[in-house]
Amino acid sequence: MNGEFIPAGTAVVGVKNKALNYGLGVIEGIRGYWNDEHEQLYLFRLADHYSRFLDACRTLYISLPYSVGDLCEITVDLVKLNNIKGNIYIRPVAYIDEDSLRPSLVNGNYGIFIALVEPGIYSLNELSTLTSSWLRISSNTIPPFIKSISGYLNSALAYSEAVLAGAEDAIFLTRDGNISEGSTSNLFIVNNNRLFTPPASDDIFPGLTRDTVITIAKKELGMETDIGSLPKSALYAADELFFTGTAIQLVSVVKTDHRTVGTGTTGPVTARLQQLYSQIVLGETSAYRRYLTPVW
């Protein structure tokens, strides 16, 4: 935290801190995978995560005294210091480190911490979803393409509404009624052996898992992804539906808005992509080693 390695219990921000009072900050979510056979912990797309993190900081006028390379190095040191030899989720947070009440982003002190979290809570299998009554935040309100802390109120409202109504996650629409994404994940549709996913202009967060899936679908399965606006009804005509995200990885949506998706179980394209993704993150596919930072 702010240049020091300290125990999580003593890493605190005060009750008057703006980051707490107004949610002025940005986060990242990075995952590390332990490969037992290799006795190695691989951090997935570490530099890409930090490059996105620094872009987000710029949007909030947060200037940090670190480059992407510095942040990668600090993260590897942090994981080593904690002697992590298992799966891990890493949560960097940059924030306005000030106690004044003015909700200003500029001319402030900026803080950063990187916390280690167990990833177990996110082991999901097959989901049922509901289309949210909350629309996805849009570019001229709270930018959807950065992981701002305050933007997660949008996710939390949609997720909570879905869970209270008996589903396991939400699907956001845009103000124009197009499909956007899940509460903390991107969405793909498989139809007639083709992949479809909403574009940046439909207020998605441009996920790295989404990007990875688009790459491996093309290279490994010969499937191009159609990136374009999709109406809500495309959900109901889908053969397969799945979410992608660092935390949830690839998760099949088997029920949506009280309708069964495809056969009601994980479809063959989703299953194949899940398998490829898990081989890649575990360092079992040499062609994708460039995505991995070995810790040990």
46 in Cβ contact with 30 (< 8 Å): yes
Give me the least distance between CB of 126 and ligand PMP, in Å please. Answer: 18
- Scanning residues 16 to 45, which ones bind ligand PMP (CB under 6 A)? 29
Non-local CB neighbours of 7 within 8 Å, separated by 6+ positions = none
Binding positions for ligand PMP, 70-99, rule CB under 6 A: none
Residues ≥6 apart with Cβ < 8 Å to 12: none
Asked if residue 111 binds ligand PMP (CB under 6 A), the reply is no
Q: Which is nearer to ligand PMP, 97 or 113 (CB)?
A: 113
Q: Which of 80, 147, 232, 255 is catalytic?
A: 147
Give the x/- contact pattern for ligand PMP in 245-264, rule: CB under 6 A.
Answer: xx------------------
CA distance 162 to 142: 22
**DSSP states of 261-273 as a string?**
-TTSS--HHHHHH
186 binds ligand PMP, rule: CB under 6 A: yes
129 touching ligand PMP, by CB under 6 A: no
Of residues 75, 129, 148, 184, which one binds ligand PMP by CB under 6 A?
184
Q: Which is nearer to ligand PMP, 185 or 266 (CB)?
A: 185
Give yes or no for residue 188 binding ligand PMP (CB under 6 A): no
* Burial of 187 from C-beta contacts in 10 A (0-12 / 13-18 / 19+): buried
Q: Is 209 in the site for ligand PMP (CB under 6 A)?
A: yes
Stretch that binds ligand PMP, among 7-15, 66-74, 204-212, 270-278 (CB under 6 A): 204-212
Q: Is 185 near ligand PMP (CB under 6 A)?
A: yes
DSSP state of 148: B
Question: What distance in Å separates the CA atoms of residue 281 and residue 208, rounded to the nearest whole number?
Answer: 12
Using rule CB under 6 A, residue 119 touches ligand PMP = no
Say how far apart CA 250 and CA 278 lie, in whole Å: 9
- Name the minimum Å distance from CB 180 to ligand PMP: 9
Whether 147 is catalytic:
yes
Phi, psi of 49 (to 5 degrees): -65, -45
Q: Is 97 exposed, middle or buried (0-12, 13-18, 19+ CB in 10 A)?
A: buried
| 50 makes contact with ligand PMP (CB under 6 A) | no
Size of site (CB under 6 A) for ligand PMP: 15
**Which lies closer to ligand PMP via its Cβ, residue 38 or residue 218?**
218
Residue 107 Cβ, how far from ligand PMP at the closest point, in Å? Answer: 29
Nearest to 251 by CA among 102, 77, 159, 125: 125
- Residue 138, C-beta contacts closer than 8 angstroms, at least 6 positions apart: 144, 174, 175, 203
How do 110-117 and 88-96 pair as beta strands?
A: antiparallel
**Region binding ligand PMP by CB under 6 A among candidate stretches 122-130, 157-165, 203-211, 217-225:** 203-211
Note whether 283 binds ligand PMP by CB under 6 A.
no
Q: Which of 119, 207, 267, 283 binds ligand PMP (CB under 6 A)?
A: 207
Q: Which residues pair with 32 in a beta bridge?
A: 43, 88
Contact positions toward ligand PMP, by CB under 6 A?
Answer: 29, 147, 155, 181, 184-186, 205, 207-210, 244-246
Which residues carry out catalysis? 147
